[in-house]
Structure 1
Amino acid sequence: MKDDPTAPPARTRPVTLATVARHAQVHVSTASRALSETPSGVGADTIRRVRELAAVLGYRRDVGAAGLRTGSSRLIGVLVPRLTDLVLASIYESVDAAASAAGYGTVVANTLDDPEHRRVRLDAMLSRRIDGVIIGDSHNGDSAALELRERGVPYVLVMRTLEGHLSVSTDDYKGGRLAAEHLLELGHRRVGVISGDQLASTGRERTLGFRRTFEAAGYPVPDAYTVESAFSTPSGAIAGAALMRLPEPPTAIFAVHDLLALGAMGALRDAGRRVGTDVALIGYNDLDLAATLPVPLTSIRSDLARMGSLSVDALLAQFSGGTPHSTLLPPELVVRATTSPPAS
């Protein structure tokens, strides 16, 4: 009888660990250790032989079953304000890649920078027995990091910092200083700041570094020229418009986030001012869009990809019993067309 070509293919049984061990001529426990991410007590030649045979035979390690045996979910939770924020999206992309390379999955949750949302999202993550948490939305007064510490759940803050907690971030105070030094060198003396959320270290430290540098140079920035805001393009437009309504508008603006700078561009346009000619403008983070705007944006670069991968490294170190230290990555000034000397 001929085979029916329309019949579904016969199901093949999955290759088991015992099959791999038999072909490698080793005990099943030896094969298991050789295929683990941290093999111990197995020679290098055996590890190579077992792994090569596993690949040839099509064996796939059951990470879920391994998790049940070890008490590990192989999941890392990531808390972010909004994944629509290009900065957090860039960091999360590198977090996910680094976690995947280490054999972990990620679970991401938007907290909307709201304590109650954060509480609900964190509780949901903990119910899934995640192995650790990367916190990208920390604020002064937040309790999430303290709660994780009390529960014994490994965690690390990324991008933002809190005193006494492990973090991976950019030296934002220095970044603010670099922005101020650049404007001072160009001859600007009356400047404005769109300062973001001052409960977040990113807004606070960038603003502080900028204002202290101007003050040390003999040109303190008045409070009226510092406008607090959310980290969004509409907030940047509102803050930029407020600065342009001052009796003596600033000749330059430092926005502590590129999206704020983007909003400020719209406000300057609406006020009849040309960016980079009438008013200088500096952003922060150097997102990809900064170089492609009609007037390319001067910005302070943060290495977002490295920030994300280092935060995963910090968690993995904790998983293996290590005690990693906080990391401050160096910022870099990237000069483009939006900064020039004050208009005469």
Structure 2
Amino acid sequence: MGKSIYILGIESSCDDTSASVILNGKVLSNVVANQEVHSKYGGVVPELASRAHQQNIVPVVQQALAQANVNKTQLSAIAFTRGPGLMGSLLVGTSFAKSLAFGLEIPLIDVNHMQAHILAHFIEDANNKQPPFPFICLTISGGHTQIVKVTDYFKMEVLGETIDDAVGEAFDKSAKILGLPYPGGPLIDKHAQLGNPKAFAFTKPKVGNLDFSFSGLKTGILYFIQKQQRINPNFIDENLNDICASIQYTIVEILMDKLKNAVKETGIKHIAIAGGVSANSSIRERLQLAEKHFGWATYIPKFEYTTDNAAMIAITGYLKYLNKTYADVSVTAKARLKVVE
């Protein structure tokens, strides 16, 4: 048995403060503090987010260490989210991680949040099967929609991405049009399960083979709802489940079309999903069906590793630690960071 490598991961890119301890790739704790403060504003307020991180970060880290039954002196390294994300939020995690690593005299490891979503598939867990290289990963969240070819842990290439809005945004904005509270994506999913996906037809945007566009779809949904409400003011209430099912069906169709194109172009049939929207029941279902229909091997992460969480930061930190890829103490947070940077 080799030595025990304990990595503390810290995630603070948006509105969740999270800390996780992993031992040689296995999660011992993954603590997430959600911020309730944003729901009444219908979206994340950056200033409020960074303040909440400052309040949450010490108790969250303490809880993660306690749950893992690990003393901070046992830690091998501290991994933290460098970006992309909200600058104020990232700064809280970055400065905390730096001072802790400096105080404990252990390596500091900066993590690219987008890579971490993909590398969450390598968390050692009794139930998960890990994708072999090379594989295709569809990264879908509130801020990102990308098809990434993954040839090695840190060798990734973006094959296609959104030219405007991210898919999570399309879900949330559609929910807003329907008068559903923020975050609306999960609510659309909930109502969609009770509706008819073919009730209303929305046009799919025409963009490149592997690229995405969601702004036209959102406008189409808005105009459709406005038109129907002029005819029947109770249209939304009377058809909510069907509207949600039709919106979700269209979005998932768009995602699946692009994945089929990616498989055709690369010949790679190992397909993974990552990011917050990969919690969506319909995309999970369609991917499982694709195993039967197209002979793909699909990799679907556990729910707790889909949204922003520190376990994915810790596993990425662990893989970088094995490579001795440490950060310098002069490292700074970066709000915009590409998956391949």
TM class by shorter-chain length? 0.3 to 0.5
Larger Cα-atom Rg: 1
Structure 2 length as normaliser, TM-score? 0.35
Structure 1 length as normaliser, TM-score? 0.34
The structure, 1 or 2, with the larger RCO (C-alpha pairs under 8 Å, 6+ apart) is 2
